């Protein structure tokens, strides 16, 4: 799964309201770029596994095996395949925010085939996994039927993990609403897909009732590991 380049300036109207218009571009990139979002989410899952918060073989999301920084020949091959990597958004500011490293970034995940889809028999198990992620303070922010394979979330490109600077800057009501978003969208997905179930995701107590995380855990470093 390769990632297109994105420029924080394109979403400054959103993050600027919380981080401030004078926020350094590399910090804004860390909280808005899909690649960083994926790394934070899967880093949190791995950290929880090491701490015994989830089982070593428990799969609460589609499996991830790490990231790759692709070579120029890989980039050319992808472009020949017709993939738009949005390299045209790279200017001097973005290049500096990326530490001068503008190689294409990719994440290696399990290849899964889902022949069942979401239905009344597996919707509770699907929701249980979303809840597990939320209690690890991972908020997917992209709950829809197309983002599930075998009852597990596939894409974390829009995910937030706590501590998160934008979430911290929100007022209490805004932060609570954001933490509830996955459950609100889960109920909407059930309705949109016409799944017959008694499940009401929003009625299930969620992590917004927990105390916020304190400190900066080891996976909170905004810098990419060196290749």
DSSP 103: P
User: Does any domain span residue 97?
Assistant: no
Would residue 180 count as lying in a domain? yes
* Burial state string for 157-188 with b = 16 or more CB within 10 A and e = fewer than 16: bbbbbbebebbeebeeeebeebbbbbbebbbe
CA nearest 110: which of 157, 77, 152, 159? 152
Domain assignment of residue 41, yes or no: no
Sign of the CA dihedral with 209 first, then 214, 216, and 218 last: negative
pLDDT band at 208 (very low <50, low <70, confident <90, very high): low
In sequence order, the β-bridge partners of residue 204 are none
Convert 13-32 to b/e letters by CB count within 10 Å (16 or more is b): eebeebbeeebebbbbbbbb
Average pLDDT over residues 142-159: 97
Mean pLDDT value across residues 37-45: 96
pLDDT-derived band of residue 220, with 50, 70 and 90 as boundaries? Answer: very low
Residue 130 backbone dihedrals phi, psi, to 5 degrees: -65, -40
Kindly report the CATH number assigned to the domain that includes residue 199: 1.10.510
Whether 185 is covered by a domain: the verdict is yes
Q: Strand runs (DSSP E) across 40-195, as ranges?
A: 64-69, 105-109, 138-139, 148-149, 152-153, 160-161
Average pLDDT over residues 112-129: 94
- Is residue 79 a part of any domain in this protein? no
Residues whose CB falls within 8 Å of the CB of residue 175, separated by 6 or more in sequence, listed in order: 167, 168, 208
> How does pLDDT run across 4-17, given as a tens digit for each residue?
788 999 999 999 99
Locate 114 and state its tokens. 């889902």
Residue 86 lies in a domain: no
Instruction: State the CB neighbour count (10 A cutoff) for residue 218.
Output: 7
Q: Give the pLDDT score at 89.
A: 85
pLDDT at 87: 77
The mean pLDDT value of the chain amounts to 88
Q: Look up tokens 């300036």; give the residue.
A: 9
Q: CA 147 to CA 168: how far, in whole Å? A: 27
What's the pLDDT score for residue 77? 87
Worst-scoring range by mean pLDDT, 21-25, 116-120, 217-221? Answer: 217-221
Question: Residue 63 falls within a domain, yes or no?
Answer: no
Confidence check: pLDDT of 51 > 70: yes
Considering the domain boundaries, does residue 122 fall inside one?
Answer: yes
Average pLDDT over residues 51-55: 93
By residue range, what is the domain housing residue 191? 114-214
Confidence of residue 214 (pLDDT cuts 50, 70, 90): very low
Q: What is the pLDDT of residues 159-183, one digit of tens each?
A: 999 999 999 999 999 999 999 999 9
Q: Say which residue, 213 or 52, is predicted with more confidence.
A: 52
Please state, for a pLDDT cut of 90, what percent of the chain lies above it.
70
* pLDDT given at position 30: 94
CA distance 83 to 55: 37
**Count of structural domains, the chain:** 1
Q: How confident is the model at residue 193 (pLDDT cuts 50, 70, 90)?
A: very high
Name which residue leads in pLDDT, 117 or 85: 117
- Reference 213, options 123, 140, 135; nearest CA is 135
């Amino acid at each position: 799964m390769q990632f297109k380049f994105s420029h924080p300036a394109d979403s400054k109207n959103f993050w600027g309201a919380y981080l401030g218009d004078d926020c350094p571009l590399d910090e804004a990139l860390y909280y808005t770029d899909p690649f960083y979002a994926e790394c934070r989410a899967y880093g949190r899952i791995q950290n929880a596994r090491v701490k015994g918060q989830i089982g070593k073989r428990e799969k609460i999301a589609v499996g991830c095996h790490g990231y790759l920084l692709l070579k120029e020949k890989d980039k050319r091959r992808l472009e020949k395949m017709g993939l738009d990597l949005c390299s045209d958004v790279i200017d001097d500011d973005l290049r500096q925010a990326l530490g001068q490293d503008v190689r294409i970034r990719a994440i290696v995940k399990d290849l899964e085939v889902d022949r069942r889809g979401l239905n009344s028999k597996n919707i509770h198990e699907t929701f249980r996994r979303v809840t597990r992620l939320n209690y690890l303070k991972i908020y997917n922010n992209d709950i829809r039927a197309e983002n599930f394979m075998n009852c597990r979330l596939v894409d974390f490109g829009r995910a937030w993990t706590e501590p998160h600077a934008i979430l911290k800057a929100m007022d209490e009501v805004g932060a609570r609403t954001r933490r509830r978003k996955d459950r609100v969208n889960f109920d909407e997905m059930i309705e949109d897909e016409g799944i017959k179930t008694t499940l009401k995701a929003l009625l299930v107590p969620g992590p917004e009732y927990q105390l916020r995380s304190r400190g900066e855990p080891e996976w909170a470093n905004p810098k990419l590991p060196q290749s």
